Structure 1
């Protein structure tokens, strides 16, 4: 469903009454939610938006966003969780497992066939046809897909595990996932306590898929090609067995080296072990997940979205089992150590407002080995997304038109040659001097010869004008050349476009009930993401913002926000984005300061 890009129709903040209704609908759709989890999932104070989109097939879909991540999508009044929601609540839906290479097929739009479902020794979950299910990868309990069962468990087994088992709606790495923060799935240990079952799962994996990667990004190191879940040839199986044998030998060496460390950890009380895990996840999240631009950051978001994902595989972070009992007490302790500062920005809601990134405890913290590559990749993605916007360099250029060829052919230029204004000036000066056209009596004038007459003068002027001032000569020449412009974004090759660049156009329109809206056009021409501008402006002014197609264009949009917001737009575009004022049109329509609303 989200294997191709979708189109955003509107983006608005959810009101309190709508939050309560949504919470009721979620409770009815997912009975496994406890009251505490439901309040955490649909919070009262945190930013929560509803976005109307159209899929590539034209289906109308509603997205619910929490902290810039989609958590739910609604189709025909049916609610479905996203992978972002399931990473926090992995036991919300019945779970079926598959092999990592299958994920790439699912992300491409394929449904999950029954031969691709791993059957544990404990048996498959009991579901009915039409049941909403989560799909995980062997070795990790974090869901990577949301699907609907096309048959009951009994029918699956009766069919010999052949045929289509699940209609896939949404997967990790699809366009809905890309609409969020693009984070990787957390590493969650499987709920397997029987060693014999673990061994059976490993043997099944070895038999069916010899090349399997359990990296944080399942698609990062897997070359699927024309992968099939049918029998592999004997050479591939043998190669896979050798590779698994080498990996197991390496794991045995690591286990031997860490045996002493594990014994030392076992000597600590469970409470001390949980305190150590809490501190590890805390410093790991600060060092690898949180950026300065994220502040202020709600403490609940920091715990749920950042710290939990830093928990090592096979361990579970439970603050109630620590000596602190409450996360707020732990943060108070960290605040006393001057690592961070917590404030109550809204009544009853605490936020992290400042972090001392140079604190020795943060600087000396070593990221656990299992997280090194994933954390580095995540950091790189975060840095890419959070790069400071740099206004493009815009240079006016001129193309030689058919009428101006006689004037420029002496300098070796042809029709379509692209020149800057300084190059045009130098060519004109050289032409005038070469042809001795400077007026002897007044050097501020240039004599008009036949070429200049044909190129620069109108028919009504040809019999009347014999001399032109230098400035008039240059301006007439530039006016008769084809206008172009060159746009250069930081780190990219220059782009030459026809015509003069259109300014960012800001207008104020009147709507029903005498309400005003501010409309912003042409943001894309300056490398600005309209959706990002809309979200930022919406947060600044606390007003509804929408994205709509720009009339008369194919692939451009306009931002519309309630009220006359030109003052805020001027500050954002001119001060924050450092755009030249000449490229912003309509700032004079700002409301006069001091006028009563």
Structure 2
């Protein structure tokens, strides 16, 4: 339904009465959600918009958008949750699991075919025809799509797992997902062990497509039935054991315990979420929403965030540490038993490291290569993943830019970083200041009829004492010299010396104080030598 761009007809804030009606409709459509959970997804005092759109096929759809993320959409008076909502409540709907390669087909508009469904040892969920279901990929319980069952579970098994299983409405990476903040699915461990079947097999069976592709989508009926029976009766644990072994080897090479590694990952996701995801308008923010919507989506690819495996064990204990020890946030219990982040110290210097442009380029290059973002067709381009999208693209570019050239990637990153400069003096610690350093400015002004004076400012920025410079120049040129406050500035002064003394000022600064010429503005204002007779 959202495989292609849609047209927005209207976008307005929801009324109080409509907000209450929406809560009631959600409670009716999804009775398993408690009142607290519904208030979490539809908060009373936060901005919620109603967006009317037309899909590329002309269907009229109503979106409910919270924090710029679509959380529900309504088609023909029926409510459907988006992937952003399903990441909060992964067990809201019956789940069918498929392979990552199939997800690409689904995002392109294909339906989920039964040969692409991975059957867990516990068997398929019991559903009826028309039942709303979620779609996940192996090794992650976070839903990546929704659709309706085209037949009951019994009919699926009776058909030998052939034919169309789900009519897909919405998936991760489609245009509805792109209408939000483009965050990635959280990593949620599967509740059941999953088959140790290879992804190569999934690509051969290819679970997405239409009815005309059914002949090439999987094995024969007898083979499919036998495979299904084997999967239901035989647990497959070889792959998880191998991965556990690999993790142990990595822990040994790292030199830190798994708990210490999880503590670091927890802090990394926390800081990333505060820096990239959370805005002042989001506060107060439920701590549970902060974890599910922001911290999970900031977890690096290939890693799984699990607070129970950290030294904190609970989210409340971790946030309390961030509040008391690091002074980063303030958490309050706004309602009984429900905690919210009410304040964030946006100016807190948690890192403060100074990087050169070359070091930034190296970090970006390593990140792109480690995450395999180099475009396979043209190596001069980098594919923009959700983290790079949030960090480097403007909101209006989200749906337009999918790749960037290397130079554009570097320049965008450098432009968004805080510029600074460093002063080095013999025998002293380096002095680091924010922003670009201003040049020493030398100007020649007229005073009276034919009198001229030389004005020098910004000497303090280079560690020079203005009074010492004025005294040295006065002795050199035998002219009156004064030091006055610089108009419009509280801590800067202006050195003024009689006559056009640009030549002498330049020699003093360049030859004696070793100030590079590129940091001195106005040396070209020196008087030109007269013609020889």
Select the residue among 375, 380, 390 that pairs with 1:382.
Answer: 390
Which ranges of structure 1 fall in alignment gaps of 5 or more residues? 213-225, 233-244, 266-272, 390-490, 492-597
For residue 342 of structure 1, report the CA deviation from its aligned partner.
Answer: 3.6
Distance of aligned partners of 1:249 and 1:339 in 2 relative to their CA distance in 1, 3 Å threshold: same
Cα distance in 2 for residues equivalent to 1:363 and 1:310: 23
- Is the Cα contact below 8 Å between 2:71 and 2:81 reproduced in 1? yes
For residue 205 of structure 1, report the CA deviation from its aligned partner.
Answer: 4.6
Q: Does 1:258 align with 2:246?
A: no
- Is the Cα contact below 8 Å between 2:272 and 2:298 reproduced in 1? no
Distance of aligned partners of 1:278 and 1:27 in 2 relative to their CA distance in 1, 3 Å threshold: farther
Cα distance in 1 for residues equivalent to 2:35 and 2:262: 27
Select the residue among 352, 359, 373 that pairs with 2:371.
Answer: 373
2:209 equivalent in structure 1 = none
Which ranges of structure 2 fall in alignment gaps of 5 or more residues? 207-213, 221-237, 356-362, 374-383, 398-407, 409-533
2:153 equivalent in structure 1 = 153
1:118 equivalent in structure 2 = 118
1:519 equivalent in structure 2 = none
Please give the per-residue CA displacement for 1:560-587, whole angstroms capped at 9, x wherever unaligned.
Answer: xxxxxxxxxxxxxxxxxxxxxxxxxxxx
Distance of aligned partners of 1:246 and 1:165 in 2 relative to their CA distance in 1, 3 Å threshold: closer
1:35 equivalent in structure 2 = 35
For residue 94 of structure 1, report the CA deviation from its aligned partner.
Answer: 0.3
Matches within 5 A, 1:206-225: 207-209=201-203
Matches within 5 A, 1:362-441: 373=371, 377-386=385-394
Cα distance in 1 for residues equivalent to 2:79 and 2:171: 16
Distance of aligned partners of 1:27 and 1:279 in 2 relative to their CA distance in 1, 3 Å threshold: farther
Distance of aligned partners of 1:257 and 1:331 in 2 relative to their CA distance in 1, 3 Å threshold: closer
Cα distance in 1 for residues equivalent to 2:370 and 2:19: 39
Structure-1-length-normalised TM-score: 0.50
Distance of aligned partners of 1:387 and 1:315 in 2 relative to their CA distance in 1, 3 Å threshold: closer
Cα distance in 1 for residues equivalent to 2:343 and 2:5: 35
Q: Does 1:90 align with 2:83?
A: no
- Is the Cα contact below 8 Å between 1:296 and 1:353 reproduced in 2? no
For residue 209 of structure 1, report the CA deviation from its aligned partner.
Answer: 4.0
Distance of aligned partners of 1:102 and 1:295 in 2 relative to their CA distance in 1, 3 Å threshold: same
2:345 equivalent in structure 1 = 354
For residue 338 of structure 1, report the CA deviation from its aligned partner.
Answer: 4.5
2:461 equivalent in structure 1 = none
1:202 equivalent in structure 2 = 196
For residue 352 of structure 1, report the CA deviation from its aligned partner.
Answer: 3.3
Distance of aligned partners of 1:130 and 1:64 in 2 relative to their CA distance in 1, 3 Å threshold: same
- Is the Cα contact below 8 Å between 2:101 and 2:199 reproduced in 1? no
Matches within 5 A, 1:248-287: 255-258=248-251, 264-265=257-258, 277=262, 280-287=265-272
- Is the Cα contact below 8 Å between 1:308 and 1:317 reproduced in 2? no
Distance of aligned partners of 1:80 and 1:372 in 2 relative to their CA distance in 1, 3 Å threshold: farther
Distance of aligned partners of 1:313 and 1:20 in 2 relative to their CA distance in 1, 3 Å threshold: farther
Structure-2-length-normalised TM-score: 0.55
Q: Does 1:308 align with 2:296?
A: yes
Cα distance in 2 for residues equivalent to 1:251 and 1:323: 22
Instruction: Name the stretch that deviates more: 69-78 or 43-52.
Output: 43-52
Cα distance in 1 for residues equivalent to 2:354 and 2:266: 15
For residue 161 of structure 1, report the CA deviation from its aligned partner.
Answer: 1.0
Matched residue of 1:4: which SS? Answer: coil
For residue 158 of structure 1, report the CA deviation from its aligned partner.
Answer: 0.8
- Is the Cα contact below 8 Å between 1:45 and 1:349 reproduced in 2? no
For residue 295 of structure 1, report the CA deviation from its aligned partner.
Answer: 3.1
Cα distance in 2 for residues equivalent to 1:45 and 1:374: 41
Please give the per-residue CA displacement for 1:433-452, whole angstroms capped at 9, x wherever unaligned.
Answer: xxxxxxxxxxxxxxxxxxxx
For residue 47 of structure 1, report the CA deviation from its aligned partner.
Answer: 1.6
Distance of aligned partners of 1:100 and 1:77 in 2 relative to their CA distance in 1, 3 Å threshold: same
- Is the Cα contact below 8 Å between 1:208 and 1:229 reproduced in 2? no
Cα distance in 1 for residues equivalent to 2:72 and 2:315: 28
Cα distance in 1 for residues equivalent to 2:282 and 2:372: 23
Distance of aligned partners of 1:61 and 1:246 in 2 relative to their CA distance in 1, 3 Å threshold: closer
For residue 134 of structure 1, report the CA deviation from its aligned partner.
Answer: 0.5
- Is the Cα contact below 8 Å between 2:329 and 2:341 reproduced in 1? no
Matched residue of 1:291: which SS? Answer: helix
- Is the Cα contact below 8 Å between 1:295 and 1:354 reproduced in 2? no
- Is the Cα contact below 8 Å between 1:339 and 1:359 reproduced in 2? no
Cα distance in 2 for residues equivalent to 1:278 and 1:24: 40
For residue 113 of structure 1, report the CA deviation from its aligned partner.
Answer: 1.2
Computed over aligned residues only, the root mean square deviation of the Cα atoms, in angstroms, reads 4.4
Cα distance in 1 for residues equivalent to 2:39 and 2:370: 34
Matched residue of 2:73: which SS? Answer: strand
Matched residue of 1:101: which SS? Answer: helix
Cα distance in 1 for residues equivalent to 2:151 and 2:165: 6
Matched residue of 1:20: which SS? Answer: helix
Cα distance in 2 for residues equivalent to 1:377 and 1:17: 39
- Is the Cα contact below 8 Å between 2:186 and 2:292 reproduced in 1? no
Q: Does 1:74 align with 2:74?
A: yes
- Is the Cα contact below 8 Å between 1:125 and 1:153 reproduced in 2? yes
